[in-house]
Chains A and B, each alone.
Chain A
Amino acid sequence: MSAVLAVEGLHTYYGKSHILHGVSLEVREAELVALLGRNGAGKTTTMRSIMGLTPPREGKIVLFGEPVGGLAPHRIAGRGVGYVPEGRKVFGHLSVHENLLVPAATPGRWTIEAIYRLFPRLAERRTSKGSRLSGGEQEMLAIARALLLNPRFLILDEPSQGLAPVIVQEVMRTVAAMKAEGIAVLLVEQNAFLALELADRAYVLSDGEVVHEGPAAALAADRARMEALAGVARAG
């Protein structure tokens, strides 16, 4: 199976602080990979490095077989990457519909009409301001926005953060549906058990380094190991 994303030896800094110490990971075609780790482990920085938002100082990022190091974020997105950022980053002063007009939509199965069919709740609230939406609705909107790029690869940063359990289930069902459609997914989660239920493989980050990688099922079964690795079990 060919790699959708291959990251090798990432070193990323915020100013002078060295955040990522040689992170390497891979996402293969139609695979859902979970990236776990506690707060401050470097999960979001890894995502930002891949998207070109915080370009790494060292390391290689290969997307769909082509190196993308140094490319601007919009070019990386343009290669077919949908990015759902941490905290959703919905445009609060724009309406739901306007939020959906921001992405540089590419032709494909996901049109605004198709999005409204997938998320009827967004259709109902199309004239509401983004800031008026519930957390769950905002998460749907952030995913919808990313889908309009008709991505082959979806990056989700903490989609369950701050959501009620029922809503989390709904979000996770959506993520599973995307995977079922053949979209590769990189899922960042603090809630490890949730992520491992869906994932094929998992990486655990700690202090900017990958401390574990392997099949998701094996990690989920080994509660003690998860505790030891990154204290990720507490959310279960």
Chain B
Amino acid sequence: MGIVVLLDAFNGLIVGAFYGLMAIGLSLILGLNGVINFAHGTFMALAAYLAFTLMPVLGFWGALVVAPVLAAALGFLVERFLIRRLYRREPIYSLLLTFGLALIMQDLIRTIWGAQGQPITIPNLLDHPLSNTYFFLTGYRVFVVAAALLSTGALFAVLRYTRLGIRIRAGNADLETVATLGVNIYLLRAANFVLGIYFAGLAGILAAGQLGLTPTMGDTLIMPSFVAIVVGGVGSLLGSLLGGLLIGVASGVTTAFFPAASAVVIYVIMGVMLVIRPRGLLGQEGLLE
């Protein structure tokens, strides 16, 4: 029994890492751009499909590097030509825009790559269990967790030590004042959106190697990612990551004891969190209470 729980908990941790990466991107974009990006899951799927197409040419590692960058480049165009026009309007406009964009992009993926799933080949190096007892500890799974932690660490370093990152953090609190200090906030918002989409792309490729590649893969991850933001605390990136890992593991452990409830448990956690600590794990006080 113990090992089964451990297996499920670890599976949950993996899925939680995907939630966390998604939630970080969503959180970044919600913070500075003020946009609830419903197309986040579709950007994620698109990056995974791009990686699938690039793999025969660049191999797994090359695709892992290039595909999120391509998705981020598309994100730049979307921000520049569509989302930018809506900043001054009510949030409902950008919500509708990204929702529509998600539908269009998803059908585009179906048209190009087909409605059925595609196989992703992960490198041999990562395809073996690391231990006979803990057979579920495959190289790939450990790699996913390491990649999530590493990329998040890199993001924190950018936000903490670079002018771009410091300006993003300042802009989250007061974009107007940042503008009066001579900073081009149009560029700042574009850069931030691109960064958020990059994280969606990264999550997409990692997830495709574990959960499979389908046009709707983003749909199953995006709602829990929103939950991760609420649980982790709106406005806190670290909170988003922790929220993702927490609900992932909770969902995994529930699978071991009561499989039918594994999908519901994350919403229960969110409900309980909203009652006892509305600001979430690391959210700022007063944002939701």
B174 near A89 with CB under 8 A, answer yes
> B169 to A149, Cβ gap below 8 A?
no
Neighbour of B177 across the interface among A72, A85, A101, CB < 8 A: A85
A101 near B166 with CB under 8 A, answer yes
* A92 on the B face (CB < 8 A): yes
* CB atoms of A145 and B176 under 8 A apart: no
Segment at the A interface, from B16-24, B37-45, B78-86, B179-187: B179-187
Q: Which residues of B contact A231 (CB under 8 A)?
A: none
Chain A residues whose C-beta falls within 8 Å of the C-beta of B167 in the assembled complex = 101-102
Q: How many residues of A contact B (CB 8 A)?
A: 25
CA–CA, A94 and B170, complex, Å:
7
Main secondary structure of the interface of A (DSSP, over half): loop
Q: Please give, as numbers and ranges, the residues of chain A lying within 8 Å of B145 by CB-CB distance.
A: none
Q: On chain B, which size bracket covers the interface? A: 10 to 19
| A80–chain B nearest beta-carbon distance, Å | 9
Quick check: is A195 within 8 A (CB to CB) of the other chain? no
B-chain residues with CB within 8 Å of residue A9 when the two chains form the complex: none
**A73 and B173 within 8 A (CB):** no
Q: In the complex the two chains form, is A51's CB within 8 Å of B180's CB?
A: yes
Tell me if A23 is interfacial: C-beta within 8 Å of chain B. no
Contacts of A121 in B (CB 8 A): none
CB-CB under 8 A from A93, the residues of chain B are 169, 173
Whether B166 and A102, one on each chain, are in contact in the complex, defined by CB atoms closer than 8 angstroms, is yes
Binding site for B on A (CB under 8 A): 51, 53, 72-74, 77-78, 83, 85, 89, 91-94, 98-99, 101-104, 106, 145-146, 148-149
In the complex, besides A74-B184, A89-B177, A91-B169, 9 extra interface pairs with C-beta distance below 8 angstroms are A72-B185, A72-B186, A74-B180, A74-B181, A74-B183, A93-B173, A106-B182, A146-B181, A148-B181
B residues bordering A, Cβ < 8 Å? 163, 166-167, 169-170, 173-174, 176-186
